[in-house]
Structure 1
Amino acid sequence: MSDDHLPIGKALPNWQPRLAPSPIVLSGHFCRLEPLHSHHANALFAAFNEAEDGRDWLYLPAGPFADAAAYRDYVQRIAGKNDPLHFAVIDLASQQPVGTLSLMRQTPEHGVVEVGFVTFSPKLQRSPLATEAQFLLMRYVFDALDYRRYEWKCDSLNQRSINAAQRLGFIHEGCFRQAMVYKGRNRDTAWFSIIDADWPLIKAAFVQWLSPQNFDQNGQQIQRLQAIRERLLKDGSLP
């Protein structure tokens, strides 16, 4: 039987493996991402400790931590690793770390990487810094490293993470049932992604949302990120 007429994927004759992510500094208007280091630990623990309870750690494989010493030990174990490559989110106004996130499951031979271990303190949650931190990492992956695919995965019961992924522009791809066991319980994993073809629209929306003109005198957004994305798509007004 000839396979001449069987369907195959789009040819990529000029494809070359990409570079792996590096522990670099990424700067924006509101925040800076820098490689996580043990010297961030005390300030991060204090920021996380402003939460009313430990629910921010519920769907993460680690935490919550009983005290600053336990969190310092955790940071010392994960800092300096290449995969996951953890970053601290630094608030430019206070110059203090207020959260972390990472690039993980790196497969540069395919141009694929996942954002994970997103741990934002109350100082960071629902703020322009939180959105910009995600944008800075995304922009690094697509514009600097020229990757094809950027993934977001979470417990399928973690509605807050699902909402965040969709707000940022990730596309839901499905659910992997019984994908893992963590903290002694099952996890069905929801999969989301942004691919390089999606990036121009998503990037343009981030740039407009993060513009100073999109915030009133109280620092409140004027247009929602999703609304900007929908308008750009409808108008066909990408740069």
Structure 2
Amino acid sequence: MMKYSWKSRVYILISCLFFIALWQVSAIIIDNDIYIPRIQQVIKSIVEIVNEPDFFKIVLSSFYRTAISYILALGCSMILGVLSVVYPFFKYLLSPLNSFVKTIPTMVLVVLALVWFTKDSAPFVVGFAITFPILYEGVRNSIMQIDKKLIDMTEIYEVELIDKIKKIYFPVMKFYFMSIFVSTFSLTFKVVIAGEIHGQPKFGIGTHIQLEKVNFNVSGIFAWIIIIMFISLIFELINRFLQKKIYRWNK
């Protein structure tokens, strides 16, 4: 198993080196920075971006918007998910709204958010709107999978709703959120950046990507993409850590 793991890593490394080489060769052949910048130019742009005085403020601003959007979506999905199971009225009430948000393209939602809200609040709205339906349906499905005999027993013994939530619903929701936290948080992060690109708040990764686009600085755009990939990699490492925790709890 260990040998296979190391072999896989070697193959992945070779694949990465192949595409980096392909990128560099393509950049040399095309010889036009507006289309494909050379790797050294992108590295130079990364160093320049990281050395900017406001770099951490820019990244943290995007992270702050992502965190707020996610926390709001998480809280609302927990409350409405439980209510939709206990009171079916909420399920039918939210069904058309969820269908609308899931079918509308993200960019159209960004445009609507900019029409209805300010440029500073639009990324929050878009992040919430994209993440909430995923979390809500996950919460509802998780609760619906609880053994019906257990639910029937709570009704026989007239267990109060608040105790049901604490002892039965919440542990199930907690397990579900831990299993999909990184994937949904990463999605929110990307959507918030998309909102920033169009809304252009004062500080934000999306705002600076848009500035690079206006200045036709493609190496700067690639630099920000690599920075975003690095942040996403950190999320993935967190995800693996959480998955190991969940596995140990279930043993």
TM-score (norm 1): 0.28
Structure number with greater Rg is 2
Q: Which has the higher strand share?
A: 1
